Structure 1
Amino acid sequence: MTSIPAPLKWAQRKDLVYLNFQVQDVVNPEVVVEKDKIIYRAETKDKQKYESILNLYGEIKPEESKWINRDRGAEFVLIKTESGPYWKRLLKEDTKYHWLKVDFNRWKDEDESDDEAGGGGTNFEDMMRQMGGLGGGMGGMGMPGMGGMGMPGMGGMGMPGMGGMGMPGMGGNFDDLEDDEKDSDDENIPDLEDGDDAKKNGDDNKNSNKE
């Protein structure tokens, strides 16, 4: 069966581009992401084949971009190389295609603030946390939902609610603990010499009794 372009919707922000290849029930999609090109190949359970080759209007960062394959299509969040003015269009060529449309549910005009998002109020940061990287749909920038090295929700190395090394809230104070250890070490310990003298005296008493 001949491959056809996959239906595609897109939106953008100053720093990223969102793509949604709307192909359902895909088996083993193939994805290639380059700094100025996206290649998407897929085959559905009913053997329909799709192939889309997108020559992008601008450049992106492949190593920071992410994608995920869902039941209702494949979603991409592509990080632009330079954050700034909106791209004039998605593709380098100024041509209209019937399979390419703007995703108005996720679109936000360039002059809109985040508070004026309206229908385009998609939180792409949350979306990226759910996505994998470009290594076969998983991996890439770090484990999804963990936001890189910091592990969101864990406050970095400190583990919120447990403080730093002292672990406040757990009733622990290492300074007090150290003092307690010193106090216990300073408790009276029998002098070895005294012990020997006591043994000697005991032996003398035994000898006197025998006499």
Structure 2
Amino acid sequence: MEEGENYLPNIYNKLINTHNYYIDKTTLYLKTRWFLLLILLIIYILRVYYVTGFYVVSYALSIFLLNLFLRFLTPHNIEEIYEQYENENNGLLLPMKQTNEPKNENNLDDKKEFRPFLRKLNEFKFWLYSTRAVLISILCTFFPFLDIPVFWPLLLFYFICLFLATMKQQIKNMIKFKYLPFNTSTKQTYGSIARGSKTTK
């Protein structure tokens, strides 16, 4: 009896381990992974165009992908950056450096100032969650009861407004807290505004 009870959990654990094993192997193939996601998105778009429906599913997918993208652009310690900024502007903290003070490459404090940009959602998880969402959305298009009648131009208009509003706020935060969420040839520090420092080159 105990063997029968443990059979299904063992099969489930084996499937999960196999899934994780092959998913982990894809971490090195960045371009291939994103190309695969692009193909899946095209398949989904063609599927929705062919059946002429499932606009609510498309809207939910768009909102989910937008949320992932915003987390991808956001520093992992954004709450700490907000708090430091508010404390300094309220006079609770003093800047560690003068804003016009040149940086000395031999100064250990200046070297400690550089911190790599760490995201709330890293690239791999961004791809993984997006791929799962698109696959689930494709699967949903094969269930007619999920094709809820709706005036799709209204959903499109609402999504465009939401996208513009959220991206505008994101860009404001990037300017306000002086961080870039993309890798460049220039070393970047983020959250440095709360300490009154500058970006190093």
Q: TM-score range by the shorter chain?
A: under 0.3
TM-score, length basis structure 2: 0.19
- Larger Rg, first or second structure (1 or 2): 1
TM-score, length basis structure 1: 0.18
| Greater strand fraction, Structure 1 or Structure 2 | 1
